[in-house]
Structure 1
Protein backbone atom coordinates (compact mmCIF):
# COMPACT_ATOMS: atom_id res chain seq x y z
CA UNK A 1 0.00 0.00 0.00
CA UNK A 2 1.28 3.43 -0.89
CA UNK A 3 1.67 6.06 1.86
CA UNK A 4 -0.01 9.42 1.36
CA UNK A 5 2.45 12.09 0.33
CA UNK A 6 3.35 15.20 2.26
CA UNK A 7 1.68 17.21 -0.50
CA UNK A 8 -1.62 15.44 0.14
CA UNK A 9 -1.47 16.18 3.88
CA UNK A 10 -0.54 19.81 3.21
CA UNK A 11 -3.46 20.08 0.83
CA UNK A 12 -5.85 18.66 3.44
CA UNK A 13 -4.59 21.03 6.14
CA UNK A 14 -4.82 24.08 3.86
CA UNK A 15 -8.27 23.07 2.63
CA UNK A 16 -9.49 22.58 6.17
CA UNK A 17 -8.07 25.96 7.18
CA UNK A 18 -9.78 27.62 4.23
CA UNK A 19 -13.15 26.13 5.10
CA UNK A 20 -12.71 26.99 8.78
CA UNK A 21 -11.93 30.63 7.90
CA UNK A 22 -14.90 30.80 5.56
CA UNK A 23 -17.26 29.40 8.16
CA UNK A 24 -15.86 31.73 10.80
CA UNK A 25 -16.27 34.67 8.40
CA UNK A 26 -19.87 33.69 7.72
CA UNK A 27 -20.55 33.40 11.44
CA UNK A 28 -18.97 36.81 12.05
CA UNK A 29 -21.10 38.37 9.33
CA UNK A 30 -24.22 36.69 10.71
CA UNK A 31 -23.45 37.98 14.21
CA UNK A 32 -22.86 41.50 12.88
CA UNK A 33 -26.17 41.32 11.00
CA UNK A 34 -27.91 40.11 14.16
CA UNK A 35 -26.43 43.09 16.04
CA UNK A 36 -27.80 45.50 13.42
CA UNK A 37 -31.24 43.93 13.53
CA UNK A 38 -31.30 43.88 17.33
CA UNK A 39 -31.15 47.67 17.18
CA UNK A 40 -33.75 47.74 14.40
CA UNK A 41 -36.03 45.51 16.48
CA UNK A 42 -35.70 47.91 19.44
CA UNK A 43 -36.67 50.90 17.31
CA UNK A 44 -39.43 49.45 15.14
CA UNK A 45 -42.11 49.20 17.86
CA UNK A 46 -41.41 52.82 18.83
CA UNK A 47 -42.71 54.03 15.49
CA UNK A 48 -46.27 53.50 16.74
CA UNK A 49 -45.41 55.81 19.64
CA UNK A 50 -43.95 58.33 17.20
CA UNK A 51 -47.24 58.39 15.29
CA UNK A 52 -49.30 58.72 18.48
CA UNK A 53 -47.11 61.52 19.84
CA UNK A 54 -47.22 63.38 16.55
CA UNK A 55 -51.01 63.20 16.59
CA UNK A 56 -51.16 64.41 20.21
CA UNK A 57 -48.78 67.31 19.59
CA UNK A 58 -50.75 68.33 16.49
CA UNK A 59 -53.91 68.28 18.60
CA UNK A 60 -52.16 70.54 21.10
CA UNK A 61 -51.38 72.97 18.26
CA UNK A 62 -55.08 73.11 17.41
CA UNK A 63 -55.91 73.91 21.04
CA UNK A 64 -53.24 76.60 21.13
CA UNK A 65 -54.62 78.16 17.95
CA UNK A 66 -58.15 78.20 19.33
CA UNK A 67 -57.15 79.77 22.67
CA UNK A 68 -54.96 82.40 21.06
CA UNK A 69 -57.99 84.39 19.91
CA UNK A 70 -59.42 84.59 23.43
CA UNK A 71 -56.35 85.79 25.36
CA UNK A 72 -54.45 89.02 25.92
CA UNK A 73 -51.53 90.21 23.79
CA UNK A 74 -49.02 89.12 26.46
CA UNK A 75 -50.43 85.62 26.48
CA UNK A 76 -50.42 85.54 22.69
CA UNK A 77 -46.63 85.73 22.67
CA UNK A 78 -46.37 82.74 25.03
CA UNK A 79 -48.83 80.78 22.92
CA UNK A 80 -46.88 81.60 19.74
CA UNK A 81 -43.68 80.34 21.35
CA UNK A 82 -45.37 77.16 22.53
CA UNK A 83 -46.89 76.65 19.08
CA UNK A 84 -43.46 77.06 17.43
CA UNK A 85 -42.02 74.53 19.85
CA UNK A 86 -44.85 72.11 19.05
CA UNK A 87 -44.24 72.50 15.33
CA UNK A 88 -40.53 71.72 15.81
CA UNK A 89 -41.45 68.63 17.81
CA UNK A 90 -43.84 67.45 15.09
CA UNK A 91 -41.05 67.97 12.55
CA UNK A 92 -38.56 66.02 14.70
CA UNK A 93 -41.02 63.15 15.05
CA UNK A 94 -41.64 63.18 11.30
CA UNK A 95 -37.90 63.22 10.61
CA UNK A 96 -37.28 60.29 12.96
CA UNK A 97 -40.01 58.26 11.27
CA UNK A 98 -38.63 59.15 7.83
CA UNK A 99 -35.12 58.14 8.85
CA UNK A 100 -36.34 54.70 9.88
CA UNK A 101 -38.29 54.22 6.66
CA UNK A 102 -35.32 55.37 4.61
CA UNK A 103 -32.98 53.00 6.46
CA UNK A 104 -35.31 50.07 5.79
CA UNK A 105 -35.66 51.02 2.12
CA UNK A 106 -31.91 51.26 1.61
CA UNK A 107 -30.77 48.21 3.60
CA UNK A 108 -29.39 45.63 1.14
CA UNK A 109 -30.03 42.31 2.85
CA UNK A 110 -30.21 40.34 -0.41
CA UNK A 111 -26.76 41.42 -1.61
CA UNK A 112 -25.09 40.87 1.75
CA UNK A 113 -24.60 37.14 1.11
CA UNK A 114 -22.90 37.91 -2.21
CA UNK A 115 -20.24 40.14 -0.64
CA UNK A 116 -16.89 38.88 0.65
CA UNK A 117 -16.83 38.74 4.45
CA UNK A 118 -14.64 41.84 4.83
CA UNK A 119 -16.93 43.91 2.60
CA UNK A 120 -20.02 42.55 4.32
CA UNK A 121 -18.61 43.45 7.73
CA UNK A 122 -17.76 46.99 6.58
CA UNK A 123 -21.28 47.37 5.17
CA UNK A 124 -22.85 46.09 8.38
CA UNK A 125 -20.66 48.39 10.46
CA UNK A 126 -21.98 51.35 8.43
CA UNK A 127 -25.54 50.09 8.81
CA UNK A 128 -25.08 49.71 12.55
CA UNK A 129 -23.96 53.34 12.76
CA UNK A 130 -26.97 54.45 10.69
CA UNK A 131 -29.57 52.46 12.64
CA UNK A 132 -27.99 53.61 15.93
CA UNK A 133 -28.44 57.19 14.74
CA UNK A 134 -32.08 56.44 13.84
CA UNK A 135 -32.62 54.97 17.31
CA UNK A 136 -31.14 58.06 18.96
CA UNK A 137 -33.34 60.39 16.89
CA UNK A 138 -36.49 58.36 17.57
CA UNK A 139 -35.79 58.25 21.30
CA UNK A 140 -34.93 61.94 21.57
CA UNK A 141 -37.97 63.05 19.58
CA UNK A 142 -40.25 60.88 21.72
CA UNK A 143 -38.71 62.21 24.92
CA UNK A 144 -39.11 65.78 23.69
CA UNK A 145 -42.77 65.16 22.81
CA UNK A 146 -43.56 63.56 26.16
CA UNK A 147 -41.97 66.46 28.04
CA UNK A 148 -43.89 68.97 25.93
CA UNK A 149 -47.22 67.23 26.48
CA UNK A 150 -46.66 67.00 30.24
CA UNK A 151 -46.37 70.78 30.55
CA UNK A 152 -49.55 72.43 31.85
Structure 2
Protein backbone atom coordinates (compact mmCIF):
# COMPACT_ATOMS: atom_id res chain seq x y z
CA UNK A 1 0.00 0.00 0.00
CA UNK A 2 2.86 2.32 0.80
CA UNK A 3 4.30 1.76 -2.68
CA UNK A 4 0.92 2.52 -4.28
CA UNK A 5 0.59 5.82 -2.39
CA UNK A 6 4.17 6.71 -3.26
CA UNK A 7 3.57 5.86 -6.94
CA UNK A 8 0.39 7.94 -7.08
CA UNK A 9 2.19 10.90 -5.52
CA UNK A 10 5.01 10.67 -8.07
CA UNK A 11 2.50 10.32 -10.92
CA UNK A 12 0.52 13.38 -9.81
CA UNK A 13 3.71 15.37 -9.29
CA UNK A 14 4.96 14.48 -12.78
CA UNK A 15 1.56 15.20 -14.30
CA UNK A 16 1.46 18.67 -12.80
CA UNK A 17 4.73 19.56 -14.56
CA UNK A 18 3.90 17.87 -17.84
CA UNK A 19 0.91 20.07 -18.56
CA UNK A 20 3.04 23.19 -19.17
CA UNK A 21 2.19 26.74 -18.25
CA UNK A 22 -1.42 27.65 -17.67
CA UNK A 23 -3.22 30.13 -19.94
CA UNK A 24 -2.88 32.83 -17.28
CA UNK A 25 0.88 32.18 -17.06
CA UNK A 26 1.15 32.41 -20.85
CA UNK A 27 -0.85 35.64 -20.79
CA UNK A 28 1.42 37.07 -18.10
CA UNK A 29 4.43 36.21 -20.24
CA UNK A 30 2.78 37.93 -23.24
CA UNK A 31 1.96 40.97 -21.08
CA UNK A 32 5.62 41.08 -19.99
CA UNK A 33 6.67 40.99 -23.65
CA UNK A 34 4.31 43.87 -24.52
CA UNK A 35 5.76 45.94 -21.68
CA UNK A 36 9.31 45.05 -22.75
CA UNK A 37 8.63 46.51 -26.22
CA UNK A 38 7.31 49.66 -24.52
CA UNK A 39 10.23 49.81 -22.09
CA UNK A 40 12.75 49.60 -24.91
CA UNK A 41 11.85 53.05 -26.27
CA UNK A 42 10.20 54.81 -23.34
CA UNK A 43 13.55 56.19 -22.11
CA UNK A 44 13.93 57.90 -25.50
CA UNK A 45 10.90 60.15 -25.09
CA UNK A 46 12.94 63.11 -23.84
CA UNK A 47 15.30 62.74 -26.77
CA UNK A 48 12.33 62.82 -29.18
CA UNK A 49 11.14 66.15 -27.76
CA UNK A 50 14.63 67.60 -27.73
CA UNK A 51 15.25 66.68 -31.36
CA UNK A 52 11.79 67.93 -32.35
CA UNK A 53 12.64 71.33 -30.88
CA UNK A 54 16.05 71.29 -32.58
CA UNK A 55 14.52 70.51 -35.99
CA UNK A 56 11.78 73.15 -35.62
CA UNK A 57 14.30 75.78 -34.49
CA UNK A 58 16.62 74.98 -37.40
CA UNK A 59 13.72 75.34 -39.86
CA UNK A 60 12.67 78.66 -38.30
CA UNK A 61 16.23 79.98 -38.40
CA UNK A 62 16.60 79.08 -42.07
CA UNK A 63 13.31 80.80 -42.87
CA UNK A 64 14.24 83.88 -40.84
CA UNK A 65 17.60 84.13 -42.58
CA UNK A 66 15.85 84.31 -45.94
CA UNK A 67 17.27 81.02 -47.08
CA UNK A 68 15.97 79.82 -50.40
CA UNK A 69 16.73 76.20 -49.48
CA UNK A 70 13.05 75.34 -49.23
CA UNK A 71 13.81 71.64 -49.53
CA UNK A 72 15.91 71.71 -46.35
CA UNK A 73 13.31 73.82 -44.54
CA UNK A 74 10.54 71.37 -45.48
CA UNK A 75 12.69 68.39 -44.49
CA UNK A 76 13.27 69.91 -41.05
CA UNK A 77 9.59 70.72 -40.59
CA UNK A 78 8.64 67.19 -41.64
CA UNK A 79 11.20 65.79 -39.22
CA UNK A 80 9.81 67.88 -36.36
CA UNK A 81 6.33 66.61 -37.24
CA UNK A 82 7.49 62.97 -37.37
CA UNK A 83 9.27 63.28 -34.02
CA UNK A 84 6.14 64.76 -32.46
CA UNK A 85 3.93 62.05 -33.96
CA UNK A 86 6.22 59.34 -32.58
CA UNK A 87 6.13 61.01 -29.16
CA UNK A 88 2.35 61.36 -29.19
CA UNK A 89 1.93 57.79 -30.45
CA UNK A 90 3.53 56.46 -27.28
CA UNK A 91 1.15 58.39 -25.05
CA UNK A 92 -1.89 57.48 -27.12
CA UNK A 93 -0.94 53.82 -26.74
CA UNK A 94 -0.24 54.17 -23.02
CA UNK A 95 -3.60 55.86 -22.33
CA UNK A 96 -5.59 53.06 -23.96
CA UNK A 97 -3.52 50.15 -22.58
CA UNK A 98 -5.31 48.17 -19.85
CA UNK A 99 -3.10 46.64 -17.17
CA UNK A 100 -5.91 44.61 -15.59
CA UNK A 101 -7.71 41.69 -17.19
CA UNK A 102 -11.03 42.49 -15.57
CA UNK A 103 -13.59 39.83 -16.27
CA UNK A 104 -12.09 38.70 -19.57
CA UNK A 105 -11.56 35.04 -20.27
CA UNK A 106 -7.98 33.86 -20.80
CA UNK A 107 -8.71 33.65 -24.54
CA UNK A 108 -10.00 37.24 -24.60
CA UNK A 109 -6.95 38.41 -22.65
CA UNK A 110 -4.66 36.68 -25.14
CA UNK A 111 -6.45 38.32 -28.09
CA UNK A 112 -6.22 41.72 -26.35
CA UNK A 113 -2.52 41.29 -25.62
CA UNK A 114 -1.79 40.13 -29.17
CA UNK A 115 -3.49 43.30 -30.43
CA UNK A 116 -1.54 45.41 -27.94
CA UNK A 117 1.72 43.79 -29.07
CA UNK A 118 0.94 44.87 -32.63
CA UNK A 119 0.13 48.41 -31.54
CA UNK A 120 3.13 48.89 -29.26
CA UNK A 121 5.42 47.41 -31.91
CA UNK A 122 4.25 50.09 -34.34
CA UNK A 123 4.93 52.75 -31.69
CA UNK A 124 8.39 51.27 -31.10
CA UNK A 125 9.18 51.25 -34.83
CA UNK A 126 7.87 54.81 -35.32
CA UNK A 127 10.09 56.11 -32.53
CA UNK A 128 13.17 54.33 -33.87
CA UNK A 129 12.48 55.52 -37.42
CA UNK A 130 11.99 59.14 -36.32
CA UNK A 131 15.21 59.06 -34.30
CA UNK A 132 17.11 57.55 -37.22
CA UNK A 133 15.76 60.22 -39.55
CA UNK A 134 16.73 62.91 -37.03
CA UNK A 135 20.23 61.51 -36.74
CA UNK A 136 20.56 61.71 -40.52
CA UNK A 137 19.09 65.20 -41.02
CA UNK A 138 20.52 66.94 -37.97
CA UNK A 139 24.08 65.67 -38.23
CA UNK A 140 25.25 68.87 -39.92
Q: Specify the TM-score bucket, using the shorter chain as the normaliser.
A: 0.7 to 0.9
Larger radius of gyration: 1
Which residue in the other structure is 1:6 paired with?
none
Unmatched 5+ stretches in structure 1: 1-12
Looking at structure 2, the residues matched to 54 and 114 of structure 1 have their Cα atoms a distance apart, in angstroms, of 41
Which residue in the other structure is 2:59 paired with?
61
1:80 has 2:70 as partner: yes
Q: How does 1:18-37 map to 2 (within 5 A)?
A: 24-37=22-35
Looking at structure 2, the residues matched to 85 and 142 of structure 1 have their Cα atoms a distance apart, in angstroms, of 14
Looking at structure 1, the residues matched to 84 and 54 of structure 2 have their Cα atoms a distance apart, in angstroms, of 13
Looking at structure 2, the residues matched to 66 and 85 of structure 1 have their Cα atoms a distance apart, in angstroms, of 16
State the 1:113 CA deviation. Answer: 4.5
C-alpha RMSD of the superposition: 2.0
Which residue in the other structure is 1:127 paired with?
116
Which residue in the other structure is 1:106 paired with?
96
Alignment counterpart, residue 128 of structure 2, candidates 120, 134, 139? 139
Aligned residue pairs, count: 125
Unmatched 5+ stretches in structure 2: 1-11
Which residue in the other structure is 2:48 paired with?
50
Alignment counterpart, residue 95 of structure 1, candidates 85, 98, 114? 85
Using the size of structure 1 for normalisation, the TM-score is 0.75
